[in-house]
Amino acid sequence: MAEPGDPKGPDAHDDDHDHDAHVGFVSPACLIGVPRAPEPQADASAQPEPEIQAEARPPERERDLFDPPEPAPVTPAFAPTSAPTPRFAADVRPAPMSLYAVYVLILLAVPTLGLSALLALLAVTGRDGPDEPLAGSHFVYQQRTLWSAAVAAVLGGLLVIVNIGVFVLFLLALWVLARGAFGVMRLKAGRPIDNPRSWLF
């Protein structure tokens, strides 16, 4: 005879009995759930407070391990504050090539035993110098150098008789070379001779 709690008994098909309770399953009746209480409705007359919207910012992307590093801001090592000034003023023309030619003849005076200096002396004698201050100062400087060298060469030639002329001619050669090199450097730099009538530089 089957007992009342036996699932094989006559009341095994009773709907109120949970057949799955013996094996740990959930019956369909338990899955229905309990109805929730209705939520209270908000008052329609009450106006909701306006929400302050923050500025929409683009989301920052997380840096990946393989992303290249961000370049650092480049600051120039040298920032010029003003435009470079030209070497010559607008009203000053560059020195004529004849001044360079005379300086070359002066520097070749020693190797040519004074022959090129004689040609340079003929080139600067009997004509007026340039009007520009730069070229004019170099022209006067060349005239003084060549005329002084000519007088010293004649004097040294006469003093050879008393064995002093060789020393005078040697000093004259050094003086001519030094003045010629100084004049070329000043002319190439675009600078006039400060005192063209002096005996030195």
Direct distance between the N- and C-terminal alpha carbons of the chain, in angstroms, rounded to an integer: 147
Q: What confidence score (pLDDT) does residue 100 get?
A: 92
**Is the pLDDT score of 133 beyond 60?**
yes
In which residue are the tokens 């009538």 written?
Answer: 197
DSSP-based three-state secondary structure for 41: coil
What is the Rg, in whole angstroms, of the alpha carbon atoms belonging to the chain? 56
Which range of 24-38, 39-53, 95-109 scores highest in mean pLDDT? It is: 95-109
Which amino acid makes up residue 149?
A
Angle CA 120–195–176, to nearest 5: 35
C-beta of residue 177 within 8 angstroms of C-beta of residue 107: yes
In which residue are the tokens 């338990």 written?
Answer: 30
Q: Would you kindly state where each structural domain of the chain is located, as residue ranges? A: 97-188
Cβ-proximal residues to 34 (8 Å cutoff; 6+ apart), any chain: none
pLDDT grade for 179, boundaries at 50, 70 and 90: very high
Query: pTM score, two decimals?
Result: 0.53
**Is the pLDDT score of 164 beyond 80?**
yes
Q: How far apart are alpha carbons 75 and 198 in whole angstroms?
A: 51
Q: What confidence score (pLDDT) does residue 90 get?
A: 42
pLDDT grade for 120, boundaries at 50, 70 and 90: very high
Percentages (nearest 5) of helix, strand, coil residues in the chain: 45, 0, 55
When the pLDDT of each residue in the chain is averaged and rounded to a whole number, the result is 75
Chain CA centroid to CA 106, Å = 42
